[in-house]
C-alpha cells in the first residue's frame, strides 16, 4: 500500500490551549486560623504574662491579724516580638504585556496574584519556623520569633522569655514519628493540663509524617501494651475511613490539620521536604496566639522607568504568643 510523502509540519499552527496550571503547596492554615491581634504601634510589640501563687491550705488561727502582705504583681513579667516585613516584587516587560499569552488574560494581574500567593506562603513559613527574634541593624532585617523558638524549654537567644513562662520540656515530644505511641502523644497534653488546668480545645498543625503517625493509632497491631480498636462503618457508604482528624483524649480535644510549612528554612521549597518539616507539629490553643499586622497585606505599583510595569506586595506583622506554657511541640528529626 502506497504511503503519502507530502506531510510537512513547517506551516502547521501550534495548538496552545488557554490553560496555565500552577501546582504548588499553598494552603496556609496557621495564617488563616490564628486570631488577628491588636495592631502593633512600634517595631517591638510587648505584652505581659502572670501566674498565681502556690495553693495554701494551712488555715488561719482564729483572731489572728494579717501579719504579712504579698505583692500580687511580683510574678508579672513581659515579653514581646519584633515586627517583620515581608515583600515580593514583580515586573512585566512592555513586550510581554503586549503579547497574547495563552491562559493569561493580563500579565500584570497574573504577576501581582503570584506575588500575593508567594508572600502568604512566606508568612506562613515564618510563623512555623525556628527563627528567633532579630534586631534590624542596617545590615540584617528585623525577624519575628517563630513558633519553633517560642515553644522552647530553654531560653531564647534574644529577648528571652522569662524562665517562669518557658514551655516545660514535657510538652516537647522528640520521639521519632515512626515510633510515636499514643502515650507519647497524650503526655504532651497531660503536661499542658498541669500548667493551664481545664480541658481545652487545641489545633495540631502537623507535618505529613506526624499526621500519618497519629492516624496509625487506630490501626496498630495489638501488643502487650497497645490495643487495636475495631471500627464499625456502614457498608452503604462504600468507603473505609483510616484517618484521625479529631482526637479526643483525657485532657484535650485536638483537631489535626496537615501543614507543610513548619520547620522550613530560608529559600526552601516546601515540595523538597526535609525530615524536620515532615515531623514537626505545633499544639496550639487558639486563645494564646495571634498575628498582629502593623501594615496589612498591600499591593504597590512603582513608576515605569522604561522597562515595563513593576511593583511589589508587602506586609509587616508579628507573631504574638501570649504564654508559651500553654502550648506544645512535636519536634522529632525523623
* Number of Cβ atoms within 10 Å of the Cβ of 234: 7
Residue 295 lies in a domain: yes
- Domain assignment present for residue 59? The answer is no
Residue 106's pLDDT band (cuts 50, 70, 90): confident
Mean pLDDT of the chain: 88
Q: Which residues contact 88 (CB under 8 A, 6 or more apart)?
A: 115, 116, 118, 119, 122, 312, 313, 314
As a whole-number percent, the residues of the chain with pLDDT over 70 amount to 84
Number of domains in the chain: 1
CATH value at residue 277:
3.90.1690
Query: Residue 67: inside a domain, yes or no?
Result: no
Dist. CA 272–CA 281, nearest whole Å: 18
Inside any domain, residue 10: no
% of the chain residues with pLDDT over 90: 64
104 pLDDT band, cuts 50/70/90, is confident
Higher pLDDT, 225 or 309: 309
Residue 16 maps to a domain: no
254 part of a folded domain = yes
Residue 114: CB atoms within 10 A of its CB come to: 14
Q: Residue 3 domain-assigned?
A: no
Nine cell digits for residue 97: 504585556
The per-residue pLDDT for 238 is 56
The domain in which residue 144 lies consists of: 29-48+76-220+242-331
Query: Over 70: is that where the pLDDT of 186 sits?
Result: yes
Whether the pLDDT of residue 226 is over 90: the answer is no
Beta strand extents in 163-307 (DSSP E only): 172-173, 200-206, 246-248, 252-258, 280-284, 289-302
- Taking only the tens place, the pLDDT of each residue in 124-154 is 999 999 999 999 999 999 999 999 999 999 9
pLDDT tens digits, one per residue of 245-277: 888 888 888 999 999 999 999 998 888 889 999
Compute φ and ψ for 204, nearest 5 degrees: -100, 110
Residue range 116-132, pLDDT digits in tens = 999 999 999 999 999 99
Contact of 204 with 177, CB cutoff 8 Å: no
> In this structure, is residue 150 part of a structural domain?
yes
Summarize pLDDT for 199-211 with one digit per residue, the tens. Answer: 788 999 999 999 9
pLDDT, residue 248, reads 82
Amino acid at each position: 500500500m502506497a504511503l503519502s510523502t507530502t506531510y510537512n509540519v513547517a506551516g502547521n499552527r501550534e495548538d496552545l490551549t488557554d490553560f496555565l496550571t500552577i501546582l504548588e503547596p499553598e494552603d496556609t492554615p496557621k495564617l488563616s486560623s490564628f486570631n488577628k491581634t491588636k495592631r502593633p504601634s512600634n517595631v517591638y510589640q510587648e505584652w505581659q504574662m502572670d501566674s498565681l501563687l502556690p495553693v495554701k491550705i494551712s488555715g488561719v488561727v482564729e483572731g489572728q491579724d494579717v501579719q504579712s502582705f504579698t505583692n500580687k504583681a511580683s510574678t508579672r513579667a513581659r515579653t514581646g516580638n519584633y515586627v517583620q516585613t515581608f515583600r515580593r516584587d514583580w515586573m512585566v516587560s512592555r513586550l510581554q504585556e503586549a503579547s497574547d499569552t495563552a491562559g493569561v488574560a493580563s500579565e500584570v494581574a497574573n504577576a501581582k496574584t503570584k506575588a500575593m500567593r508567594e508572600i502568604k506562603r512566606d508568612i506562613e513559613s515564618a510563623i512555623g519556623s525556628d527563627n528567633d527574634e532579630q534586631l534590624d541593624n542596617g545590615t540584617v532585617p528585623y525577624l519575628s520569633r517563630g513558633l519553633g523558638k517560642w515553644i522552647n524549654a530553654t531560653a531564647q537567644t534574644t529577648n528571652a522569655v522569662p524562665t517562669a513562662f518557658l514551655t516545660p520540656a514535657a510538652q516537647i515530644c522528640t520521639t521519632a514519628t515512626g515510633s510515636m505511641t499514643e502515650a507519647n502523644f497524650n503526655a504532651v497534653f497531660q503536661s499542658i493540663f498541669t500548667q493551664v488546668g481545664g480541658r481545652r480545645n487545641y489545633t495540631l498543625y502537623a507535618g505529613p509524617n506526624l499526621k500519618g503517625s497519629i492516624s496509625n493509632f487506630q490501626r496498630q497491631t495489638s501488643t502487650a501494651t497497645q490495643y487495636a480498636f475495631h471500627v464499625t462503618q456502614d457498608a452503604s457508604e462504600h468507603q473505609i475511613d483510616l484517618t484521625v482528624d479529631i482526637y479526643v483524649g483525657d485532657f484535650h480535644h485536638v483537631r489535626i490539620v496537615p501543614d507543610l510549612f513548619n520547620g522550613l528554612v530560608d529559600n526552601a521549597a516546601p515540595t523538597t521536604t526535609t525530615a524536620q518539616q515532615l515531623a514537626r507539629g505545633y499544639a496550639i490553643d487558639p486563645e494564646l496566639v495571634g498575628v498582629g499586622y502593623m501594615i496589612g497585606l498591600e499591593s504597590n505599583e512603582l513608576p515605569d522607568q522604561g522597562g515595563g510595569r513593576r511593583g511589589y506586595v508587602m506586609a509587616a506583622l508579628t507573631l504574638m504568643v501570649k504564654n508559651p506554657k500553654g502550648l506544645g511541640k512535636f519536634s522529632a528529626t525523623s
